[in-house]
Chains A and B, each alone.
Chain A
């Protein structure tokens, strides 16, 4: 008891903003590897990031850099043959009896009751492919009601009413009828709305949104983003928003973590990332987005080279083979660590002292 109090009172090491609000979720040095027949894939390899209550952490990075695997690691639902091999995921919450807790949820067995109640109850997740993320042969209402009943003690009837209520909250017209429908009878946008309804129906404290708008057309994308932001404000929940699209990040994120090959290479508040990027990879990403001021037909700069497969990760800094600032003798020799370069701003690059 005293020990918990003590630890709770201690300031957290990394990423605490100056207003000293402790993060609700803190991922530290996470390693998730896939043990395949061809070798070990270091999908997540030392990632660290933090989410603050009511705020949105945007995780950005090219496809394959381990964003989805990191998200699934938080819920301990990594696909086989993947395994979380190292790291801590510190979650701060008040349990059912009102006790304040702060614990490493990675130490909970994946099939423990506590983990199952966190999964979907405390921390919910929505996905990239809204249509195929629902079972095609169960009605949307069936799947929603099931989720609600897993995490509350509502009876079938009440849960169904709650499901209809949630469908209307996410802007699905005629919810009492649509609740009977099957996913293939809905559009992609409506499916994603239903998915959001399902994720939020348990009043989670954190929503992980893994590229929720990537598969949608631009108009629907904007609607879904608005919906998410509105509901986040209403529910007062924190959000981890994963995308490879910096434009979306600019719109939704409060803080940003830039990932490259399984690691976070830079973390900063969103304005700082856009105005004052420090890591060569972040800078390269930023120059590759089209700007309104760009000349028509002007070629976009691209990052040279392609992402190495996480199975044969380059030694030292993983970005060094593509880095314009590559320093021979340093970058391929040692692994840089995240170090502070300003207020709430951390970078992992040998250009900066302390890394």
Chain B
């Protein structure tokens, strides 16, 4: 298990390196160096930048030196916690991301839990009772869930919540709690506002995980070891949970690692529509306005989160499957 873990962590670090190179490339993409664009954006807002200031900035980021030195300097700064300035907001990037990243993570994990809790039991039932009425209903729900675009679903739910419950689901808090101090009521209000985004964000993931769970479990149910377990005199549901469900879990765990980044990028649109302060809308705006430090930082963060997610799912896989662990 230890050797396996070390290998996985090394792969993870390698991936993070690749992601950081990618983020750096993105920062470098706009024509001219980014100090030029920084100065241009400052001047556009009426600020004067002196030649000395520009030179200091250039030296700071090693502009004019080879790309790998620039990359090294940038990484070095990042590891010190200096993520650069946002051209657009005129504040350090960390200040913008910090508050939003937490919500993004909460939203992604919330959706993930929602997906697991809803999809796995339905998927198991659908496989064990293949072609039953409920299986058909689950299948129909699955395809509908996949087909409806998130933004449309969000708009519809928003409208319904307003029309039926007189509940405004945009943003994170109702107006009366917006700047109130933390209290039980405020937490409750936050949770209420999170339900719709989680449902919207989780629906297509739920739909595909139902299909995946069902297909994998159907495969496993046909395997000889299931017949053996039956021939032993085991209780049917007991044996289903002990054997085929456990085996069908491997692909589910691997797939979860891929759902995570999908949730983060999916949250862009949902957040824009529902007016949620996640990193999604900021990423969108930063890309539109070539706010490259901000964009690079967000992409790097999403990449790192994905790698951590993959690492966690690999560890989980090692725990549930001896063949993965012992080889």
Name A residues whose Cβ lies closer than 8 Å to a Cβ of B: 72, 75, 77, 79-80, 111, 116-121, 124-125, 127-129, 132-139, 146-147, 150-151, 182, 184, 195, 198
B224 near A133 (CB under 8 angstroms)?
A: yes
The B208-257 residues at the A interface (CB cut-off 8 A) are: 222-225, 227-236, 242-243, 246-247
* Closest residue on chain A to residue B321 by CB atoms: A137
* A120-B227 contact in complex given A137-B321, A182-B326, C-beta closer than 8 Å: no
* A137-B323 contact in complex given A129-B224, A132-B223, A132-B224, C-beta closer than 8 Å: yes
| Distance between Cα atoms of A297 and B61 in the complex (Å) | 84
- Residue contacts A-B, CB under 8 angstroms, 8 given: A75-B230, A77-B227, A111-B236, A116-B234, A116-B235, A119-B232, A134-B225, A138-B243
B322 near A120 (CB under 8 angstroms)?
A: no
B142-181 vs A, CB cutoff 8 Å, 1 = contact: the mask equals 0000000000000000000000000000000000000000
Q: Which residues of B sit under 8 angstroms from A147, Cβ to Cβ?
A: 232
| Distance between Cα atoms of A127 and B232 in the complex (Å) | 12
B232 to chain A, nearest CB (A): 4
B68 to chain A, nearest CB (A): 45
* A134-B322 contact in complex given A111-B236, A119-B233, A150-B234, C-beta closer than 8 Å: no
Q: Which residues of A sit under 8 angstroms from B232, Cβ to Cβ?
A: 119-120, 146-147, 150, 198
Q: What's the A-B contact tally at a CB cutoff of 8 Å? A: 73
A117 near B233 (CB under 8 angstroms)?
A: yes
* A136-B227 contact in complex given A119-B232, A147-B232, C-beta closer than 8 Å: no
A116 to chain B, nearest CB (A): 4
* A116-B233 contact in complex given A133-B224, A138-B243, C-beta closer than 8 Å: yes
Name B residues whose Cβ lies closer than 8 Å to a Cβ of A: 130, 222-225, 227-236, 242-243, 246-247, 320-323, 326
Q: Which residues of B sit under 8 angstroms from A121, Cβ to Cβ?
A: 233
* Closest residue on chain B to residue A136 by CB atoms: B323
B320 to chain A, nearest CB (A): 7
Q: Which residues of A sit under 8 angstroms from B246, Cβ to Cβ?
A: 135, 137-138
B321 near A125 (CB under 8 angstroms)?
A: no
* A120-B233 contact in complex given A134-B225, A137-B321, C-beta closer than 8 Å: yes
Q: Which residues of B sit under 8 angstroms from A128, Cβ to Cβ?
A: 224
Q: What would 10 more interface pairs be, CB under 8 Å, given A75-B231, A77-B227, A137-B321?
A: A120-B231, A133-B228, A135-B229, A137-B323, A138-B242, A138-B246, A146-B234, A150-B232, A182-B323, A198-B232
* A124-B231 contact in complex given A182-B323, A182-B326, C-beta closer than 8 Å: yes
B316 to chain A, nearest CB (A): 13
| Distance between Cα atoms of A116 and B224 in the complex (Å) | 19
Q: Which residues of B sit under 8 angstroms from A75, Cβ to Cβ?
A: 230-231
Q: Which residues of A sit under 8 angstroms from B223, Cβ to Cβ?
A: 132
Secondary structure at the B interface, as helix, strand, loop or mixed, is helix
A95 to chain B, nearest CB (A): 15
A158 to chain B, nearest CB (A): 18
| Distance between Cα atoms of A80 and B188 in the complex (Å) | 48
Nearest 10 Cβ contacts at the A-B interface: A120-B233, A120-B232, A119-B233, A125-B231, A77-B230, A116-B233, A133-B224, A135-B225, A133-B228, A132-B224
* A136-B247 contact in complex given A72-B227, A182-B322, A184-B323, C-beta closer than 8 Å: yes
* Closest residue on chain A to residue B220 by CB atoms: A135
| Distance between Cα atoms of A77 and B233 in the complex (Å) | 10
| Distance between Cα atoms of A30 and B223 in the complex (Å) | 25
* A133-B320 contact in complex given A117-B233, A119-B232, A138-B243, C-beta closer than 8 Å: no
* A127-B224 contact in complex given A75-B231, A116-B235, C-beta closer than 8 Å: yes
A220 to chain B, nearest CB (A): 18
| Distance between Cα atoms of A132 and B244 in the complex (Å) | 12
| Distance between Cα atoms of A151 and B236 in the complex (Å) | 16
Q: Which residues of A sit under 8 angstroms from B323, Cβ to Cβ?
A: 136-137, 182, 184
Q: Which residues of B sit under 8 angstroms from A132, Cβ to Cβ?
A: 223-225
Interface centre among A136, A184, A195 (most CB of B within 10 A): A136
B247 near A77 (CB under 8 angstroms)?
A: no
| Distance between Cα atoms of A116 and B239 in the complex (Å) | 13
Q: Which residues of B sit under 8 angstroms from A79, Cβ to Cβ?
A: 222, 227
| Distance between Cα atoms of A8 and B246 in the complex (Å) | 46
* Closest residue on chain B to residue A72 by CB atoms: B227
B122 to chain A, nearest CB (A): 20
Q: Which residues of B sit under 8 angstroms from A125, Cβ to Cβ?
A: 228, 231
B152 to chain A, nearest CB (A): 36
* Closest residue on chain A to residue B231 by CB atoms: A125
A119 near B227 (CB under 8 angstroms)?
A: no
Q: Which residues of A sit under 8 angstroms from B224, Cβ to Cβ?
A: 127-129, 132-133
* A137-B320 contact in complex given A77-B230, A127-B224, A132-B223, C-beta closer than 8 Å: yes
Q: Which residues of B sit under 8 angstroms from A80, Cβ to Cβ?
A: 130
| Distance between Cα atoms of A119 and B233 in the complex (Å) | 5
* Closest residue on chain A to residue B230 by CB atoms: A77
* A135-B243 contact in complex given A72-B227, A182-B323, C-beta closer than 8 Å: yes
